Amino acid sequence: MSSFLPTTPAPLSWLWDWYQWIPTLLPGLGTALLLTLVSVGVGYPLGFGLALLTETRSALARWFAIVVVEVGRGLPILVLLLLVYRGLPSVGILFDAFLSASVALVWSSAAYSAEIIRTGLGAVPRGQFDAAYALSMNRTDMYRLIVLPQALRVSIPPLVNLGITMFHATSLATVITVEEIMHIANLEGSIYFRYMSVFMAAAVIYLAITVPVSLYADRLAKRLGGVMTVRKTVLRRPAGSVPVSAES
């Protein structure tokens, strides 16, 4: 890598030579994606379970779910990471860095997704339940065939966005020495004193993943929202209409 670089780079060289760091950072991207996959793949099903628990009749289960969700949403992810990695060892629970990061991110992702799924379930109109009961459906069928498909329409776009948030959050795992993108970037940056260039490369890698996914989420929201989507005209006027100021 050093052979590419002049010993004293031009002050703005980071604007064009950042791409040279991409191969170095790619293994970090792999780790970040793996962590994202774990936090989504394990976190969302747990979130679904927590969402159902918050609706149960058992007060104990309900309070358990509420505490797990509120702590997961209320603490900074950084604190969750440090709690697992540096806090649990003091009671004899030792996870390695990757496992600690997985536990903290799964917790966070489960908590946020629980809230999203609960909102989605709440958005299904009361009349849909009534209609299902009136048709003598059993509860399982009612949820599986009537309630969930409608709840998911509401929940999927925010769940995709939460996935992006979790991908971003993997960068925090650098503080507990997980070798994701920022960990490698920081290390390389300090070795060559080429921080600007290497962080640019990191930014480009993050953008390359998040921008397509968030554009997809926007489109998905529009499609699933159907007639519910908001009109685009805002301060812009409708075609042809004339704004006229009466200020004289």
Partner 1 sequence: MDKRMDPVHTDTRAIEVEHSSGHSFVQAEHLVKRFGEHRAIDDVSLSIAKGEVISLIGPSGAGKSTLLRLLNVLETPDSGTLRVGDAAMTFDGTPVKRARVLAIRRHTGMVFQSFNLFPHLSAVQNVALAQMRVLGRSKDEARTRALAQLERVGLAAKADAYPSQCSGGQQQRIGIARALAMDPDLMLFDEPTSGLDPEVGAEILAVMRELAADGTTMVMATHEMEFARHVSHWTCVMVEGAVIERGAPAQVFDAPEHERTRRFLSAVLGR
Partner 2 sequence: MAEAFLLIAAATGATLLLTVSAALIGIVLGAPLVLLAQSRSAILRGIYTVFVHVVRGVPALVWLFIAFFGLAELGIVLPALASAVLTLGIIAIATMAEIYRGGLAAIRQGQYEAGWALSLGRWSLAKDIIFPQLFRAVSPTTATYIVGLLKDSALASIIGVPEIVYVTGLEVQSLGHGLELFLFAGLIYLALSIPLGVVSRVIHVRLTRRYAVL
**Residue type at 101?**
A
Q: Which does 189 bind (CB under 5 to 8 A by kind): partner 1, partner 2, none?
A: partner 2
Q: In this structure, are residues 109 and 74 in contact, taking their beta carbons and an 8 Å threshold?
A: no
The reply on whether position 134 binds partner 1 by CB under 8 A is: no
Q: If binding means CB under 8 A, how many residues of this protein chain bind partner 2?
A: 58
Residue 207 in the binding site for partner 2 (CB under 8 A): yes
Smallest distance from partner 2 to CB 9, Å: 10
**Is there binding between residue 134 and partner 2 (CB under 8 A)?**
no
Cβ neighbour number for residue 138 with a 10 Å cutoff: 10
Q: What is the end-to-end Cα distance of the chain in Å, rounded?
A: 67
Place of tokens 């080429």: 194
Min dist CB 47 to partner 2, Å, is 18
Please report, as residue ranges, which positions from 215 to 244 form the binding site for partner 1 (by CB under 8 A). 238-244
Gap between the Cα atoms of 189 and 201, Å rounded: 11
Q: How far is the CB of 195 from partner 2 (least distance, A)?
A: 4
The whole-angstrom separation of Cα 78 and Cα 206 is 19
Q: Which of 60, 134, 239, 244 binds partner 2 (CB under 8 A)?
A: 244
Residue 32: CB minimum distance to partner 2, A: 10
Q: How far is residue 190's CA from residue 231's CA, in Å, rounded to a whole number?
A: 49
Minimum Å distance from CB 243 to partner 1?
Answer: 8
Q: Where are the alpha helices (DSSP H) in 170-194?
A: 181-192
Q: Quote the crossing angle between the two packed helices 148-169 and 195-225, to the nearest 10°.
A: 170
Q: Which does 196 bind (CB under 5 to 8 A by kind): partner 1, partner 2, none?
A: partner 2
Q: Which of 38, 185, 217, 221 binds partner 2 (CB under 8 A)?
A: 185
Q: Which residues bind partner 1 (CB under 8 A)?
A: 238-246
